[in-house]
Chain A
C-alpha cells in the first residue's frame, strides 16, 4: 500500500500548505487537500488536521471545526485504525472531537507564544516517532495562544501508563500539564502536538527536526 496523505482545509487553516508541501515536495508522497465541507476523505490513508485558526477560534479553539462536514468521516476513519495527525489547531480539533483525551487551555501567561522550542522525544515506539532516538532533544517551532494541555488526574495516569506521551517541552512555554507537548491515543493511530514539525522539515528554512515525524508516519504505511 502506498501512503496517500489528505490535508484538511478549514476556513482559517494556515498551515495546510506547509503540511502539504512537506508531504508532496519533500517526501514525494501522493498528497491532496480535502475541503472541510467534503464528506469523504477519498483514498487518503493518512489524514493531517493542520494548524491555523479554524472558524476564527470562535467559542473555543477547534470547537466548531470539530462539527465540519468531513469530521464524521475522519472520526470513522480514526476509529477504524486510520492514521490521523493533528498539529496545533489540529490537535485542538482532535481533542474537541474526542479522538484524543484532554483539552488545550489558554497559555498560562496569557501570551501568544511564537518561538522555537526544545522538545524531548518521550516515546520512539510509535508510528509517529519511530525514527527519533528515545530522549532525543529536537528543535521545533511553536506558535499558539491556547497550547496549555490539560486533562484530569485519571486521564494523566492513563497517559503515563500507556506510554501515550510522545513529546515533552524541555522548558514549558505555556503551562502545559506535565510539560506535555504531544500525545497519541490509546490505539496509537491518532496523535496531536502543539509544536509545528511541518515548519521544521525543509533544510532551506534552517530546521529539519520535524521531518522524521512525517518520514516515520509515511514509512509505517506499507
Chain B
C-alpha cells in the first residue's frame, strides 16, 4: 500500500516537474516593492529559469499602472498585451515572442511572455524597464524608482528648449532661481544619465544632471548655468515631459509652445444675453424730425429708454427704407409726411404693440447711414447714389437687457408690405438637390447644445448661451426679411424628440432614451419641410491655439450652401480667421433632408476669438452676416436644378 502511494507520489511529482519544464513557469511567492512610499505586493508571480514573470491581472500591477497614468489593453487568452503611457508610448508585448516594443524602439526580453490559464505573464524586469522604472534594493526592500529617461536640448542660436522625459508626470520644484543659474529638483525620480553638457545655445552655457538621495527617496537635479541677460519662460509639465524655454539676450520672450498660453489670460467679459426680445423696460419715440444736411437730409428719431432696432432697404429701383424700433411706444400717433428730395416721403407707425416703424421713400438709391445717438437714432441720407451698399443692419439704444422668455417656435411672417419678399426666386431651391421643401419659406435655426448640454464652457462663458443668443439674432433678422423661422429650441433647454422606451433604446444599442437629442433637432426641420437648416456653435480646444470660423457640411447638396456662407461671412469682415469649409459627418447636418450646415463661429478657448464672442456687437455682426448669407443663398438658387 505504501509502495503504491510512493509510486503515485513519484508519478505526481514527475508530472508536476514535467509541467513546470514544459510550461517553463510555476506560481511562486509574492514579490514586494516600494513605489513612491507605497508598498506594492505582486501576487500573480510565476518563476521561470530566466526570471520572474508578472501576471497582467495582478491587482498591484494595475494599481502601479494607474499611478503612472498608464492604461492596459488586454483580454484573457489574447496574445497581445498593450500598455499606453502618458508620454505617450505604446508598449507591446506578445505571448510567445521575446521581442517587445517601447514606442518606436524594439528590444528583446529575457524570456517570452506566456499564458498561464487565460492570464498573460510578462517578464517582470523587462516590464518594469519598459515602464521607465528601475528596481533597487536598500538591503531590506526592493524599491521601484521612476527614471528620468532623457534630457533633450532643442533649438539653436538664441532660442532653446530643455525637455526632460520620464514615464510618469514630472513636477519638479525650482530650488534656485538666479539670473545666472536655475536648479530644478525632481524629487522621487532617479537617473542614470548623470553628467555635464556644454550647451551654448539659447543663453544656456552648461547643463548638469546630478542624481542623489537614497534608494527609497531618489532625487535628480537639473542645473542650468545661464549666460548674462539670458531669460527663461514658464515651465510646462505635461504627462511625462517637463519643458522650459530659454532665450539669449535680445531674443524674443521665450515660450515653450506657441499653442500653449504661457501668460495668464485676461478675464473675459460676461456674456450679455441676446437683445432679441423686446426689453421689458421699453422705450418711447417722442418725435421724428427731418433737417437738411450737406445736400442731403438727416432724420432724427428722438427717443428715451432702452431698445433694439434693425433697419432694411430694398434693392433699386425700389428705394424704400425702414427701421423697426423694438420695445418702443410711439407718442403722438401715426404720421405720413411728404418730404423734399432726396427724401420723398416719411411714414411713422406703431407697427405692433412693441414696435415702432419709421419708413422712408427716397428719390433714388441714396447713401444712408444709421447710428445711435445720446437721444435716439440718426439716419443720414446723402445726396449721392450708392448701389453696392449694406441692405440691413441693427443696433441698440440705451442699455439693452433682454427678456429671457421663450418665443413660439414658428414666428409669423410680417404682414407689412415692406416685410414681404417680392423676388420669386426666393421660393426656389438650391443646386444639386432633389429635395423639395414643403415650406420653402421656412428656415430652421439650431442653436448648438442647450439645457443639460452646455457645450463648451470656458472662463464662465457657456456655448449653449452664446449659440442661443446668436440664433435669436439671426431669427429676428430673417423674419424682418420675410422668412419664416423655426428654432429647434428657443429657450435654454434640451430638445427631445419622439419618446423612446429604455428597452427600445437599449435594443438599438444606445445607453438611454435620451440619446436622440440631435435626431430630434433634425426631426423638427424634416417634419416642417424646411428650406435650409443652420446649426450655430462656438468651438473649443484644450489649448488656446486654434481659432477661427469654420463651416461644416456633409451631404453634397449642402456644399454650395456652405461655400456661399463662407464667402458671405468672410466678406462681412468678422475679424476671425476663415478656417474654411469642411465635410464631416456631424449628426445634425448628416440627417437633415435639406441643405444643412454647421457653423463654428469662433473659439471660446482662444483669447482673440473669445473677446469677440463676449461682445454683443460682434454677435450681432455675425448674426447679420449669417442672415445675409441665408437670405442671399435662398434667393439665388432655383429649385431642383442640378448645376
Does B bind A? no
